[in-house]
Amino acid sequence: MKIYVDADACPVKDIIIEEGLRAGKPIILVTSFSHYSSEKQPQGVETIYVDTGADAADYRIMKLAEKGDIIVTQDYGLASLGLAKECTVIHHKGFFYTNNNIDQLLQTRYLSAMARKSGKRTKGPKPFTEEDRNKFKQRFIKILQEDS
């Protein structure tokens, strides 16, 4: 099992790296060249850089991911594709994408996009909180323990 992270705007990379390495799982951070860093990652963590196109990271993750892998993303489209490959997909706020909730999430995203396109203002995501961070950590550790 590998851990793939849609890493451009992921606020829990430190948790993923710490807990993933503790569990002995390879971690692949997929990010755009616009987020390039010369910072060295620990052994067991690979960074893959992709073009800055809208879905470049998503396409690379889907090319690499296999059944049973973990994907961390806030992107509903990538989550949907990951579920189709039978990956475990989790949002950085700690909720799981499932076959039971993905259609509703995609529908809500679509309706919000249509409202914005017609000139209406929509609410953005709520701020990321320490409670979200703790929830993610607990659930992420649980995923790793279930695989052991």
pTM of this structure: 0.88
Number of compact structural domains in the chain: 1
Task: Using the predicted structure, report yes or no on whether residue 14 has a pLDDT greater than 90.
Answer: yes
pLDDT confidence of residue 39: 81
Alpha-helical (H) ranges within 7-129 are 13-22, 56-64, 76-84, 102-117
pLDDT, tens digit (0-9, with 9 covering 90-100), for 98-130 = 998 887 877 886 677 787 788 888 777 789 999
Q: Angle 32-91-98 (CA atoms, 0-180°, nearest 5)? A: 120
Token pair of 7, please? 């890493």
Nearest to 9 by CA among 43, 34, 46: 34
Token pair of 82, please? 């990951």
Structural domain of 85: 3-147
Q: Report the C-alpha gap between 24 and 31 in whole angstroms.
A: 22
Q: Report the C-alpha gap between 37 and 48 in whole angstroms.
A: 11
pLDDT confidence of residue 148: 62
Mean pLDDT of 47-54: 88
pLDDT confidence of residue 111: 76
pLDDT confidence of residue 8: 86
- CATH number for 36: 3.40.50
pLDDT, tens digit (0-9, with 9 covering 90-100), for 92-103 = 999 999 998 887
* pLDDT greater at residue 124 or residue 22: 22
Q: Report the C-alpha gap between 138 and 126 in whole angstroms.
A: 20
Nearest to 2 by CA among 63, 56, 53, 92: 63
DSSP at 137: H
pLDDT band for position 37 (cuts 50, 70, 90): confident
